[in-house]
A and B are shown apart, each in its own frame.
Chain A
Amino acid sequence: MLYRTAGQFKTTYEADHALFPVRQDAILLGIILVVAWVVLPLTANEFAFKALLVPVLIYTLAALGLNILTGYAGQLSLGTGAFMGVGAYACYKIITIFPEVNLLVAIAMSGFFSAAVGVAFGVPSLRIKGFYLAIATLAAQFFLVWLFEKWAWLYNYSASGAIQVPTIEMFGVVVAGPNAKAITQYYFVLAVVTVVTMLAINITRGRIGRIWKSVRDMDIAAELVGINLMKAKLSAFFVSSYIVGIAGALFVFLWRGAAEPNLFDIPLSFRVLFIVIIGGLGSILGNYLGAMLIVALPVVLSYLPGALGIPVSSSMVEHLNTMVVGALIIFFLIVEPHGLARFWAVLREKLIIWPFPH
């Protein structure tokens, strides 16, 4: 009933190709945007911003980047964490060398560094496929993290080997550093994520997106119909690493405030990959759903025993949490291997024809 599509007639091709052929989709998106931009900032407290909302958005962005590579172009990568690191360190160097640069510009520029590194490590994808490629991207993962550790210039020769985010102002408002307000940071991240998501939707719907999908589905067949595989794969690596790099810069500058090299180690890569798989390969919406599940759920879960009044020690909660996350991953893979995004798709189908079963 809520989703009845009857009566919505399309009279032009443009209307049929629109982003939202179904009016209710647009309304729903509007509601979500209002919630994200107005309702949440009014209701959330500082902890919710710092431990739930901002990380979910940043992980969503990183997952979006990986999803373009893995979900759309079909190239499995386990090096996401390191590419995030490249973005973060590039942004740090830009900010410390040119302190007058606007943070937004610095973040946008740092994406190009990770994109370049991503393309360099993407070259083997022309010859190596499947799990072999996945392990090959681990070479990037381990090598880059080692480099972050050893190349003292990257962290300005600080004794601890960690980078610290200085206080950064933008248009008179403190956006990064210890004095930044959580709500400012939330809006900053939300704005970046919204813009990138819109761009990503359009790229993946368009010509390049279709090329990527054809490469994913069968690269030899794609080659036979005249698609330049090298261009297709490397462009996927470029766009993906660019977004991942931005996510890495946001990760450190707008959320963590400091970072040491092993922050970007393999667990981070796996975390982002979980989000992509659980959310749904080849889906933009899935990244959001996956990030909520993988990032926010453990935080929420750790409150559960306290809220229910069950006395458990914090380490026990943590153990149970790890177990639950592992079990949930298996559970969702079994119930819906195509990810949470497919859940929504099925639900939407049902809603459209409701109350009839078929």
Chain B
Amino acid sequence: MDFLNSILIKPFADMFGAPDFLMQVLWEGLVSGVLYALIALGFVLIYKSSRIFNFAQGIMVVFAALTLVGLHEKGVPAWLALPLTLGVMYLLAMSIERVVLRPLVNQPDIILFMATIGITLFLIGFGEIIFGGENKVMITEQLGIPTGSWEFEPFGGFLSIEQRDVTAVVGAVLLVAALLLFLNKSKMGRAIRALGDDHQAALSVGISLSTIWVVVWFIAGVIALATGIVWGSRAGVSFALEVIAYKALPVLMLGGLESVLGAIVGGLAIGILEKLFEIYWGQPILGGNTETWFAFVLALIVLLFRPQGLFGERIIERV
């Protein structure tokens, strides 16, 4: 009885007993959710256009952030470092397309997946040689991101909202909007979607595979840079950031591998739910740290009912 009480009643009593705290939990969850969504978006874009499950998205986040900070350390002003970093990401996209993807066209999915892990390892070694392994400070203020916080007192409690988190959320929304506009309105965007729908048909009407791939990987690089700035401003930039790539995987499962909307909804849902679970169930009952697996188990359960994720394309099997 006590046990049932502790899992069914007490958590909700806690939630409504301290609504200001609940709001803080929800806000924290939302912010991490936005970040998960951003990383997942990088995955989705690449998967949609090339059927590559790009594991290297995580290291691209680190790489982009380190390039930005590294350039700034070398004395490049922030306003110049940002476009230069974008240039580096473009070069990276181009070399990945040229060296890795082009020779691997038409290989089975798992081979391409492995190749992206190869890219990950390569970039880890390469990045550590160039930038060193120290934890670096993200140039938050130089980029004009506010660092203060707003404090509210809802229900007589205390709610603190970091301005940089608000900036992150707003920035992410703008980025997603721009991306959707690009995908739906521009010629290139339509070509990307066409490639995602039917590879061969798209090729036969003259859409250039290699150009599209460079563009898509570059966009993934831009998203990586955005993620890197936001995440790096919270806890510094180092190779430990790479593990956030794992956080995007359950989001993809939940939302579906091909769906931009799925990545966003899935990211937000997982961000909020895992935080709620950790605070109200994980820490009191299970000894904490449930965030490592909760999202995966949640996604697994959802998949049992919808094998293609919430927003994924229906899997049609033909014999």
Residue of B53, B122, B317 with highest tally of chain A CB at under 10 A: B122
A116 sits at the interface (CB 8 A): no
Which of B84-92, B160-168, B209-217, B283-291 contacts its partner? B283-291
Give the docked Cα–Cα distance between A328 and B122 (Å). 9
Q: Are B304 and A319 in contact (CB under 8 A)?
A: no
Which residues of the other chain, B, contact A136 by a CB distance below 8 angstroms? 253, 296, 299-300, 303
Which residues of the other chain, B, contact A138 by a CB distance below 8 angstroms? 246, 249-250, 296
Q: Are B111 and A337 in contact (CB under 8 A)?
A: yes
Q: Are A127 and B303 in contact (CB under 8 A)?
A: yes
**Interface residues of A, dominant DSSP:** helix
Q: Are B307 and A127 in contact (CB under 8 A)?
A: yes
- Of chain A, the residue at the smallest CB distance from B120 is A326
Contact with A along B250-261 (1 / 0, CB 8 A): 101100010000
Which residues of the other chain, A, contact B252 by a CB distance below 8 angstroms? 135
A220 sits at the interface (CB 8 A): yes
Which residues of the other chain, B, contact A307 by a CB distance below 8 angstroms? none
Give the docked Cα–Cα distance between A76 and B246 (Å). 17
Interface size (B, Cβ < 8 Å)? 50
A334 sits at the interface (CB 8 A): yes
Contact partner, A131, options B99, B103, B250, B257, Cβ 8 Å: B257
Contact partner, B118, options A70, A139, A321, A333, Cβ 8 Å: A333
Which residues of the other chain, B, contact A218 by a CB distance below 8 angstroms? 319
A270 sits at the interface (CB 8 A): yes
Contact with B along A276-287 (1 / 0, CB 8 A): 010001000000
Give the docked Cα–Cα distance between A326 and B99 (Å). 13
Which residues of the other chain, A, contact B296 by a CB distance below 8 angstroms? 135-136, 138-139, 142-143
B123 sits at the interface (CB 8 A): yes
Interface size (A, Cβ < 8 Å)? 46
Which residues of the other chain, B, contact A281 by a CB distance below 8 angstroms? 110
Give the docked Cα–Cα distance between A262 and B104 (Å). 34
Contact partner, B249, options A124, A135, A315, Cβ 8 Å: A135
Q: Are B286 and A330 in contact (CB under 8 A)?
A: no
Q: Are B126 and A329 in contact (CB under 8 A)?
A: no
Contact with A along B110-125 (1 / 0, CB 8 A): 1101110111111111
Q: Are B292 and A146 in contact (CB under 8 A)?
A: yes
- Of chain B, the residue at the smallest CB distance from A152 is B287
Please judge, given known A-B contacts A132-B253, A150-B286, whether A329 and B115 are in contact too, CB under 8 Å.
yes
Q: Are A139 and B300 in contact (CB under 8 A)?
A: yes
A40 sits at the interface (CB 8 A): no
B14 sits at the interface (CB 8 A): no
A311 CB → nearest B CB, Å: 16
Identify 12 new A-B residue pairs, CB closer than 8 A, beyond the known A132-B303, A135-B252.
A128-B307, A129-B307, A138-B246, A138-B249, A146-B293, A224-B319, A277-B114, A323-B125, A326-B118, A327-B118, A330-B122, A334-B100
Which 3 A-B residue pairs are closest in the complex by CB-CB distance?
A326-B121, A323-B125, A326-B122
On B, residues with C-beta under 8 Å from A are 53, 99-100, 103-104, 107-111, 113-115, 117-126, 128-129, 133, 246, 249-250, 252-253, 257, 286-287, 289-290, 292-293, 296-297, 299-300, 303-304, 307-309, 315, 317, 319
9 CB < 8 A contacts A-B = A124-B303, A132-B257, A132-B303, A139-B300, A142-B292, A145-B292, A326-B123, A330-B115, A337-B104
